[in-house]
Amino acid sequence: MNARTIAFSGSGLDRADHLRGDAAALARLMDGRARLLRLDGIDPVCGDDGGLAWGTLAEADASDELIFLGIDGEGRGCFAVAPGAASASVAPPNPRLWQVLGALPREPLATYGVARALAGWHARHRFCARCGSPTRLAKGGWQRDCQSGSCRAEHFPRTDPVAIMLVEHEGDVLLGRQPRFPPKRYSALAGFIEPGETIEEAVAREVFEEAGLRVDAVTYVCSQPWPFPSSLMIACHARARGRDLAIDSNELDDARWFSRAEIAEAMVAGERGESGQALGAPPPHAVAWHLLDWWLRRG
């Protein structure tokens, strides 16, 4: 893989799982040294230096539910406020948000990714999915408990696995574009892994559904946490048995085969913030960029 770190990975916080269920230990971390990550709903708030803005727990209201993000390198507890239902959006990140996130260094971006995924989950799970009763934060924000005496269901933050795949045939790769993409932007095909599927089966199904191709020789390449709202992108490579496409227009605007030279030129143009002649490459914060970079480096 390229030395460039995959976005939203590499947080420097110790998650301290062993402390989450220890109310006394968490209370000791909520001292004058503790840090509170400032959020606008679930969006980041940045300081004058362009980095994440941190405050103290004195900024939180007594009624706020606090999410324990972990312990930093100086032994300080780091927290965020669990937002209300108004922050329960699952919309893709907008360009303005990406401008902010694109300026963050590796570790702060990863820390924000954890906070966003957890904060969004809390906003969407204020009520029990089993009985409809209110839920309450537990285990430092890594659990919510139903408050009904007859239910008492425990709910946990979810991570949804998504297969994203680079499909190759005779030295070319298949990329597609969704309606929401900028002009000329193409990326790897992707889709959620369904219940009862292996990663390999999900890759094969998604490629057939979206492009009408049969694939085999599926191999794992890398993964990426993606907090929009709570996915794990599982990046794979597969080989197509043919190249005749049958595009599902409900999923894709277009899908095409691109040569190695076209991909290489588009990736270089992307580094300049431009589109290539044949396509616009996916941005560096997307795992699809790393897939293409890995493929080019394989030769």
Residue 283 confidence (pLDDT) = 94
Strands 160-169 and 154-155: unpaired
CATH code, 160-298: 3.90.79.10
Residue 91 confidence (pLDDT) = 78
Residue 3 confidence (pLDDT) = 57
Q: Print pLDDT tens along the chain (299 aa).
A: 565 789 999 999 999 999 999 999 999 999 999 999 999 999 999 998 889 999 999 999 999 999 999 999 999 999 999 999 888 888 777 888 988 998 999 999 999 999 999 999 999 999 999 999 999 999 999 999 999 999 999 999 999 999 999 999 999 999 999 999 999 999 999 999 999 999 999 999 999 999 999 999 999 999 999 999 999 999 999 999 999 999 999 999 999 999 999 999 999 999 999 999 999 999 999 999 999 999 999 97
CA distance 215 to 263: 21
Residue 57 confidence (pLDDT) = 97
CA distance 232 to 248: 24
HEC assignment per residue over the chain: CCCCCCCCCCCCCECCHHHCCCHHHHHHHCCCCCEEECEECCEECECCCCCECEECHHHCCCCCCEEEEEECCCCCEEEEECCCHHHCCCCCCCHHHHHHHHCCCHHHHHHHHHHHHHHHHHHHCCECCCCCCEEEEEHHHCEEEECCCCCCCEECCCCEEEEEEEEEECCEEEEEECCCCCCCECECEEEECCCCCCHHHHHHHHHHHHHCCCEEEEEEEEEEEECCCCEEEEEEEEEECCCCCCCCCCCCCEEEEECHHHHHHHHHHHHCCCCCCCCECCCCCCHHHHHHHHHHHHC
Residue 2 confidence (pLDDT) = 61
Domain with CATH 3.90.79.10 in the chain: 160-298
